[in-house]
Amino acid sequence: MRLLLFLLPALPILAQDGGQLYTQYCSACHAVDGKGATGGQFPPLAGSEWPLGNPDRSIKIVLMGFNGPVEVNGKTYNLEMPPQGAALKDDQIAAILTHVRSSWGNKASAVSADQVKKVRAELGDRNQPWKAEELLKLHPLENVKVPIEKLISHFYKASFSALPDFSQLKPNAVEEEPSGLIDYSAYANTDGFAMMWEGEITTSEGSHEFSLDSDDCSRLIIDGKKVCEITTTGPAGRTVKKSETLSAGVHKIRVEYVENVGQEALKVGIKSKGDKKIKWLSKETGSGRGKPWPEMMLTPTADRTAIYRNFIEGTTPRGIGFGFPGGVNIAYSGDNLTAELLWTGEFIDAGHHWTDRGTGNEPPAGEDVVRLSKQMSYAFTADCASAWTVSKDAPPRFRGYQLDAKGNPTFAVEISGGRILDSYTAATSPGLSLVRKIKTAGKLTRPVSLLIQSEAEAKLQTPAGFESGPLKVAVEGATFRYAGNAVILDLKDKEVLIRYTWN
């Protein structure tokens, strides 16, 4: 797909009129009003910082083209702009850019033909299109306040299974990060490395909630104090959150990260009092990492739950996602026979798997991701590979699921001579809630137990409930018991309600 400038057959131009040239060469993609053609499917030039400031940035894009993901006004585009240096003369490029820099509310200086000529000569025989990261290192966006000021990254190539003492290591590379974002993408798809970033953030006075999630290990340090930490290797979806009271002003931030094997993931965010959403300090956000596919956000309607049957990061290959009206979401594992992920906000970006049959796992698109459990390695379930405790002679079996009229699921598990029906619906009171109903169908030959949570520390433990990160979990019709970080529910022939409520 072509981006930015759509080349039409050359027409004779008697005078270099920037508006006329823009309409002829650029409006097919950027629209006459500069807001992006086809309802904003192409990046806008109106109100964008990209064409403003240092004109060399825009001149280089027009001469050599542009390829790969780029964020404009908070939205990521991933199209391609062909080079125009061979088709357009220096004075034509200057006229087009002068028009763009002075139209639709843009206010920047004119571009001269001599400026274009100079940049063209400096590029020499370059024939590769620009990437956003490369161009921004040369010409950072001038009027955009970055999330982390004075950000420096350090890269260490070695095999790590835990966070090292970085003071004892010599980095293989040290880079300035003009984007101001925690970003490992230059080393993506590489096993065995560590990174450390240092910079400054500016906050207001008061309480600020920091969040950290990674695949594998990570640590967040503010003003020399450890705030959040993930010390073991494992998949993303293990979000750690902690609130810190900070004074108004500048604070030192340090982020440490280890990638052992497999996929990479690192999300760092801050949510201050009064904020409705997390402010992301990392390139990877609650809506996923920078993506080489178009965004296709799958959302529920006001009265219908959305379903996503594809690979979801943080659960097993037979994971099934459900996005409920009101902004509550789950991923249920057909292998482990329980809900493994809960999160709020956006449901999931289907573009990954709906475009060119994309491979790999798609992370939840929203916030407050809580991983409940994983394939069992715990003593009380050592005899089976699911969340249910039974013997090897009578393993539980997944018997599918049914949807009610509003798309809410009820999963069936055959176990102990009967069936367990496990259903989920969203509730609007109290707060943002998910109600889980568990009941038996047929007589159980003996009691069975269900792992409710194992991945995060359960706090304020009582028989009636506990807290885990942003979640409050309460049970009616039974009681919880605790074994370390594991929360267990013993079931008999009666109905049990579990309510998950986000603080």
Q: Are residues 446 and 411 in the same domain?
A: yes
From the list 374, 381, 406, the residue with the least C-alpha distance to 396 is: 381
Q: Are residues 101 and 74 in the same domain?
A: yes
Query: From CA 433, how far away is CA 463, in angstroms rounded?
Result: 20
Q: Are residues 118 and 244 in the same domain?
A: no
Q: Are residues 174 and 87 in the same domain?
A: no
pTM over 0.85, yes/no: no
Residue 497 maps to which CATH number? 2.70.98
| Residue 87 within any structural domain of the chain | yes
Query: From CA 146, how far away is CA 144, in angstroms rounded?
Result: 6
Answer left, alpha or beta for residue 123, where phi above 0 means left and psi between -120 and 50 means alpha: alpha
Final residue before a domain boundary, out of 247, 280, 313:
280
Q: Are residues 132 and 199 in the same domain?
A: no
Number of structural domains found in the chain:
3
Q: Are residues 470 and 347 in the same domain?
A: yes
Q: Are residues 116 and 265 in the same domain?
A: no
| Residue 185 within any structural domain of the chain | yes
Q: Are residues 364 and 483 in the same domain?
A: yes
Q: Are residues 66 and 101 in the same domain?
A: yes
Q: Are residues 328 and 444 in the same domain?
A: yes
Query: From CA 54, how far away is CA 147, in angstroms rounded?
Result: 21
Final residue before a domain boundary, out of 254, 280, 306:
280
| Residue 347 within any structural domain of the chain | yes
| Residue 3 within any structural domain of the chain | no
| Residue 417 within any structural domain of the chain | yes
pLDDT tens digits along 22-33 = 999 898 899 999
| Residue 450 within any structural domain of the chain | yes
pLDDT score recorded for residue 259 = 93
Residue 274 maps to which CATH number? 2.60.120.260
Domain that holds residue 422: 297-502
| Residue 286 within any structural domain of the chain | no
Q: Are residues 177 and 264 in the same domain?
A: yes
Q: What is the dihedral of CA 381, 382, 384, 388, to 10 degrees?
A: 0
Angle at CA of residue 255, ends 254 and 258, nearest 5°: 145
- How much of the chain is helix, strand and coil, in % rounded to 5? 15, 40, 45
Q: Count the neighbouring beta carbons within 10 Å of the beta carbon of residue 302.
A: 6
pLDDT tens digits along 335-362 = 888 998 998 888 998 887 887 565 678 8
Residue 103 maps to which CATH number? 1.10.760.10
| Residue 221 within any structural domain of the chain | yes
Q: Which residues of the chain have pLDDT under 70?
A: 1-16, 40, 74, 286-293, 356-359, 374-386, 389-394, 428-430, 455-456
Q: Are residues 249 and 191 in the same domain?
A: yes
Final residue before a domain boundary, out of 280, 309, 324:
280
